[in-house]
């Protein structure tokens, strides 16, 4: 019984850690969006996207409102978004998106994570060419006809439409478009009365690296190290 309790407690703490990281990531995204486009989601598409994503990870409404309010303060930190590129173990390409108020700290930490995880931090352009930056919208499939939706969205930059899984394991429709078409797609969905569960910009690998289970574990340990860093927003890889 004691062992079962320990496992449950460990799982609970891991879930809390993941939730805290998600809230921190979205809080920074809100700060960046407000600084760039103001605190009104009605006129700030980037902020609307952040609020949708906050809802997708069950971030409380009062925390979202507090983050927007903080972002308007003169003493609020200004975050720079920086992309780091490198290779993990077994030749797996890794992209690390960060939002930082201290470049020196961030690059030192990212380099240390790569080194300790059996990888190598590369120069700008050393890895990104193996990925394509795309807009990814997750939609509730209820009341939507995928075939009709596909035809309606082609003119707004739709590249892929398929099935996927949401944050809570639910079935979703996944809409992908090229990065330059992200705003057009967001507006098109809004005009059709479709509110995405989430709307993200992601780096999708154009080629993948096959790995064994043991090799995948090595890469996953490095990714986990990176994701735990306070300056890291998202980590992408091309591991098959």
Residue 53 shares a structural domain with residue 161: no
- Determine the pLDDT at residue 87: 98
pTM of this prediction? 0.88
Residue 54 shares a structural domain with residue 85: no
- Per-residue DSSP letter, 209: B
Residue 142 shares a structural domain with residue 123: no
Question: Is the pLDDT at 4 greater than 80, yes or no?
Answer: no
Residue 105 shares a structural domain with residue 134: no
pLDDT in tens, 91-141: 999 999 999 999 999 999 999 999 999 999 999 999 999 999 999 999 999
Model confidence at 9, in pLDDT bands (50, 70, 90)? low
- Determine the pLDDT at residue 16: 75
| Cα three-residue angle 37-44-132, rounded to 5 degrees | 90
Residue whose C-alpha is closest to residue 101's, from 82, 124, 121: 82
- Determine the pLDDT at residue 14: 62
Residue 121 shares a structural domain with residue 211: yes
pLDDT in tens, 179-197: 999 999 999 999 999 999 9
Residue 11 shares a structural domain with residue 104: no
Please state which of the ranges 15-19, 110-114, 165-169, 207-211 shows the lowest mean pLDDT: 15-19
Our count of domains for the chain comes to: 3
Which of 71, 93, 110 is at the close of a domain? 71
Q: Which residues pair with 142 in a beta bridge?
A: none
Q: What is the DSSP string of 9-47?
A: HHHHHHHHHHHHHHHHHHHHHHHHHHHHH-S-TTT-HHH
Measure the CA–CA gap between 133 and 91, rounded to whole angstroms. Answer: 21
Max CA-CA distance within the chain? Answer: 58
Range of the domain at 63: 2-71
CATH number at residue 9: 1.10.10.200
């Amino acid at each position: 019984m004691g062992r079962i309790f320990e496992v449950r407690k460990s799982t609970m703490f891991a879930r809390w850690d993941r939730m805290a990281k998600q809230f921190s990531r979205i809080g920074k995204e809100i700060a960046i969006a407000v600084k760039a486009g103001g605190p009104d989601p009605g006129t700030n598409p980037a902020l609307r996207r952040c609020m949708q994503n906050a809802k997708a990870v069950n971030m409380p409404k009062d925390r979202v409102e507090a983050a927007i309010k903080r972002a308007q303060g003169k003493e609020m930190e200004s975050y720079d978004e920086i992309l780091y590129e490198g290779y993990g173990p077994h030749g797996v390409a890794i992209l690390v998106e960060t939002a930082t108020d201290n470049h020196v700290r961030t690059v030192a930490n990212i380099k240390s994570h790569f080194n300790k995880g059996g990888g190598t931090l590369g120069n700008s352009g050393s890895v990104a060419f193996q990925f394509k930056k795309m807009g990814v919208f997750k939609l509730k499939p209820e009341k939507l006809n995928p075939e009709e939706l596909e035809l309606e969205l082609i003119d707004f930059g739709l590249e892929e439409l398929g099935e996927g899984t949401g944050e809570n394991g639910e079935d979703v429709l996944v809409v992908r478009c090229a990065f330059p078409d992200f705003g057009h797609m967001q507006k098109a969905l809004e005009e059709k009365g479709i509110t995405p569960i989430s709307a993200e910009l992601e780096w999708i690998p154009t080629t993948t690296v096959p790995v064994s289970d043991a090799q995948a574990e090595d890469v996953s340990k490095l990714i986990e190290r990176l994701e735990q860093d306070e300056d890291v927003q998202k980590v992408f890889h091309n591991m098959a």
